[in-house]
Amino acid sequence: MTRAEPPQSAVCVDFGSTWTKALHVDLASGEVLGSASAPTSLEEVMEAYDACLTSLAETDPRATTAEVLACSSAGGGLRIAVVGNEELVTAEAGRRVALSSGGKVVAVVAMASEDAAGDLRSTLAATSPDLVLLTGGTDGGNHDIVLGAARALVDAGWSGPVVYAGNQHARDEVTAVLADNPLRTCDNVVPKIGVLAPQSAREAVREMFLEHVIGGKGLSSRSEFTEIVRGATPDVVLLGVETLAEVLGEDVVVVDVGGATTDVHSVVRPDPEAEHVREEVVAVTPVTRTVEGDLGMRWSAPTTLAAAEHADPSLAESDLSADVEHRRNHPDWIPATEQDKDTDELLARIAVSTALQRHAGRSRVVLSPSGKVIERTGTDLRRVGVVIGSGGVLRHGRPGVEERVMRWSVRGGWQLPGESVRSVDSDYVLAAVGLLARAHPATARHLATHLTPSR
């Protein structure tokens, strides 16, 4: 029996809700052999993959025998409801873990309130999550609330997947209560106050996504779809950003402007001045992702324009209400005139600036019992050396779009990048880097060098 030759290349596919993108990569060199895209049909997403593969094979026949690695945000991606003890601690920690796992947080329910059980039932019905991330309590602390939350999930009729990342002393009891649910238990995301340990929960959410969410969305009748998908697109992209930061040896932030949301991914090393910074109840992690559901180029165009007044009042001088309504009602619309392209660039600049502000937060000096300390919100991006822009408005824009869109003001205490190097992921490489990072780490690092900006 002749052993089959290992594939020489990989086809990395991102199934999006609107478009499916594919990159053909040489596994030895990390070079891009070809790229393709096709509209996504939510009735059968593999039709877009077939179209991409046909196009890639015309450029290089090896695409037909390549290893296939895919990620998906089709059908709304991964919708997560976070259920915790109280919002400022365990529920907030769970929210951060869900975002770093590639999920869109559709609800956060704090179970310490009197009406929590009723709120949980109505929230689950209204938001239709794919998965519940259940957190609560430090290890060894009181576990009555988190155990009550598990019972409330059952009483609310929730039969979907649950990831338990709370008080480990309550794990056996929670497991017994949720015995009829698809369940993963993992390490506590807040083992003690001031410590955030997200990695175990992140892995558990990823496993649940692959085993119980991808197939359950009914996006394809072909079994190969679930076989090739390795994770949710935002999770995969964040891994790509981590790999890029490792290759560059410095802090990185990526801003991805989409039709409905603007995502910010950052890898920021610990601040050497951290001893002068007020400690947060929920620790900040080096790898962070935020999703702004009201900032986007099409579905969210009206709320993006509305954010201009806060981000930079000079961006809100013209009445563009008719233009943004047209974009919301026609999400597949492509600008043709120079004026239309100007408006798209304006919306993109608002989205980029506002999303970065929300991700980075502010810093200010406050008085504490021990004297003056720096109080910060968000992730401090001031020392970030590289900012990468992504999204169709940047990849397919006019010459100079990068300089016109990737601009922001640091006035007002915003912890935004200053003299950073800025570039665009024009070949849609980051998702492919993330897909290759685990199975082919050397290839992923080679591919990441395509994003190394010139200084």
Superfamily for domain range 77-213: Succinyl-CoA synthetase domains (3.40.50.261)
Which tens digits make up the pLDDT trace of 132-180? Answer: 999 998 999 888 999 999 999 999 999 999 999 999 999 999 999 999 9
Indicate where the chain has its CATH 3.30.420 domain(s): 231-433
- List the one residue out of 60, 72, 52 whose CA is nearest residue 7: 60
The whole-number pLDDT of residue 118 equals: 83
> Per-residue b/e over 330-366, b at no fewer than 16 CB within 10 Å?
ebeeebeeeeebebbbbbbbbbbbbbbbbbbbebeee
Residue 262 C-beta-side C-alpha neighbours within 13 Å: 30
Nearest-5° angle of CA 113, CA 196, CA 88? 25
CA contacts within 13 A on the Cβ side of 161: 23
- pLDDT level of residue 313 (50, 70, 90 thresholds): low
| 432, two tokens | 């492919």
CATH class held by domain 231-433:
alpha beta
Each residue's pLDDT tens digit, 406-455: 999 888 788 999 888 999 998 889 999 999 999 999 999 999 998 876 65
> What residue spans in the chain does CATH classification 3.40.50.261 cover?
77-213
> For 316-339, how does the pLDDT look when each residue is reduced to its tens digit (9 = 90+)?
556 788 999 999 999 889 999 999
Residues 390, 235: Cα–Cα separation, whole Å = 15
Q: Residue 274 pLDDT > 60, yes or no? A: no
Residue 277: pLDDT above 60?
no
For residue 2, pLDDT over 70 is answered with: no
d(CA 2, CA 76): 43
Note whether 34 and 432 are within 8 A (CB): no
pLDDT computed for residue 230 by the predictor: 94
pLDDT digits (tens, 9 = 90+) for 232-263: 888 899 999 999 999 999 999 999 998 888 99
Mean pLDDT for the chain? Answer: 88
Indicate the burial class of 137 (C-beta count within 10 angstroms; 0-12, 13-18, 19 or more).
buried
Query: Among 400, 301, 409, which residue's Cα sits nearest to residue 354?
Result: 409
